[in-house]
C-alpha cells in the first residue's frame, strides 16, 4: 500500500513557520504581514473559504482586513477598494475571492492588484515570472505551490530525470504546476481531455498530478507502480450508503485502486486541500519580507 501524504500535517508545519517568521519580522522592527480579503456577494462556499482565510491570518499574527461587499457592488467601486489596498503600506497581500458576480470582469480586477501584493499568483507578471523560472520574486498560485511542497516531502527538492504528467491545463493549477515541476528538472507532459490514450501516458509518470475536476477519473491501472500521486480534485458525489440525499467528497483519482499501486498518494479530503490556505499565508509573509527589503523565506 502507498504512503499516505498527510497534507494536514504539512500545512500545520507551514503555518508554524509563518508564525515564527511573523514574530521575527516584528522583532526586527518591520511591519507585520497584512492580508486583505475582498468578497463580493453571498456565495456560501466563498464565505466559508473567506472566513477560514481570515481566521488563519489572525492565528499567524497578521494584520487581517476583510471587505465584505454586497452583490450589487459596481466594478468601479471594487477597483477603488483594490487601488486603496495597493497604496496601503500595512497590506502585503490582497486576495479577491472568486467567483465574482457576472457584471464584474474578474480578469480586469485581478490584473489591477499590485503584482507584489498578488498572493494568489494570478497577475500576468507573476505568471510570467513563474513561466521564465524567476521563482525568487514570483508569487505562485497556492494550490500548485502546496502540491509541490507535498511532492518534495516524498521525493526531495531535486526531481532531476523524473517523468511528471499533469492532467489538467487550467491557469490556476495545471499550467503553474507544470512550470514548478519543470523548474525542479522534471520532464513534464501536460495532458487534458483531448489527449490521446491518456491512461497509457499517465502510466509513464513518476509524478502524476490530477487536476481535472472529474470524480475518480484516474483509475488504478493508470498509475505507474511506485509513482507519487497528487490528487488536486475535490468533487461531491452522491453517497446513498450514508442515507438518502447524503454525499461524500472524492478526488479526481480512484483512491482505493490507485493506493494499491502508487508509492505515495494524497487523500481527499486531507491532502492538497489544507495546503492551499497554508501557502496563502506563506506567500503573504514572503511579501512582507520582500517589502521590508529582507531575504525571502523559503518553505
**Separation CA 221–CA 279 (nearest Å):** 32
Active site residue 129: no
Active site residue 66: no
Which position among 17, 97, 224, 252 bears the catalytic label? 97
Which position among 17, 118, 120, 224 bears the catalytic label? 120
Which position among 17, 53, 175, 224 bears the catalytic label? 53
Active site residue 111: no
Instruction: Cell numbers for 183, please give them.
Output: 523548474
First CA to last CA across the chain, in angstroms? Answer: 28
- The neighbouring-strand residues paired with 69 are 40
Backbone angles phi, psi at 210, to 5 degrees: -105, 115
The candidate with the shortest Cα–Cα distance to 184, out of 225, 152, 213, 136, is 152
Integer CA distances (angstroms), 280 to 111, 128, 137, 141, 199, in order: 18, 19, 15, 8, 33
Check if the beta carbon of residue 59 is closer than 8 Å to that of residue 15. yes
Tell me which residue has cell 456560501.
44
Instruction: Cell numbers for 87, please give them.
Output: 497604496
Q: Which residues are catalytic?
A: 53, 97, 120
Amino acid at each position: 500500500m502507498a504512503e499516505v501524504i498527510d497534507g494536514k500535517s504539512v500545512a500545520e508545519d507551514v503555518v508554524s513557520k509563518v508564525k515564527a517568521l511573523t514574530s521575527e519580522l516584528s522583532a526586527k522592527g518591520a511591519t507585520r504581514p497584512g492580508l486583505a480579503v475582498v468578497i463580493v456577494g453571498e456565495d456560501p462556499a466563498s464565505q466559508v473559504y473567506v472566513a477560514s482565510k481570515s481566521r488563519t491570518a489572525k492565528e499567524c499574527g497578521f494584520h487581517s482586513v476583510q471587505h465584505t461587499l454586497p452583490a450589487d457592488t459596481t466594478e468601479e467601486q471594487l477597483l477603488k477598494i483594490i487601488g486603496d489596498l495597493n497604496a496601503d503600506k500595512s497590506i502585503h497581500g490582497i486576495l479577491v475571492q472568486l467567483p465574482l458576480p457576472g457584471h464584474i470582469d474578474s480578469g480586469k480586477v485581478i490584473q489591477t492588484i499590485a503584482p507584489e501584493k498578488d498572493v494568489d499568483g494570478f497577475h500576468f507578471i507573476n505568471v510570467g515570472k513563474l513561466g521564465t523560472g524567476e521563482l525568487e520574486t514570483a508569487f505562485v498560485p497556492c494550490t500548485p505551490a502546496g502540491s509541490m511542497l507535498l511532492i518534495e516531502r516524498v521525493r526531495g527538492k531535486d526531481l532531476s530525470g523524473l517523468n511528471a504528467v499533469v492532467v489538467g491545463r487550467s491557469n490556476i493549477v495545471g499550467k503553474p504546476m507544470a512550470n514548478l515541476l519543470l523548474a525542479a528538472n522534471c520532464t513534464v507532459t501536460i495532458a487534458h481531455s483531448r489527449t490521446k490514450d491518456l491512461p497509457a501516458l499517465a502510466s509513464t509518470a513518476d509524478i502524476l498530478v490530477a487536476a481535472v475536476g472529474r470524480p475518480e477519473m484516474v483509475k488504478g491501472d493508470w498509475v505507474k507502480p511506485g509513482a507519487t500521486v497528487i490528487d488536486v480534485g475535490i468533487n461531491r458525489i452522491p453517497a446513498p450508503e450514508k442515507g438518502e440525499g447524503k454525499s461524500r467528497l472524492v478526488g479526481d483519482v480512484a483512491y482505493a485502486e490507485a493506493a494499491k499501486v502508487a508509492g505515495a498518494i494524497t487523500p481527499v479530503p486531507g491532502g492538497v486541500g489544507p495546503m492551499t490556505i497554508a501557502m496563502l499565508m506563506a506567500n503573504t509573509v514572503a511579501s512582507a519580507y520582500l517589502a521590508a527589503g529582507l531575504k525571502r523565506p523559503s518553505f
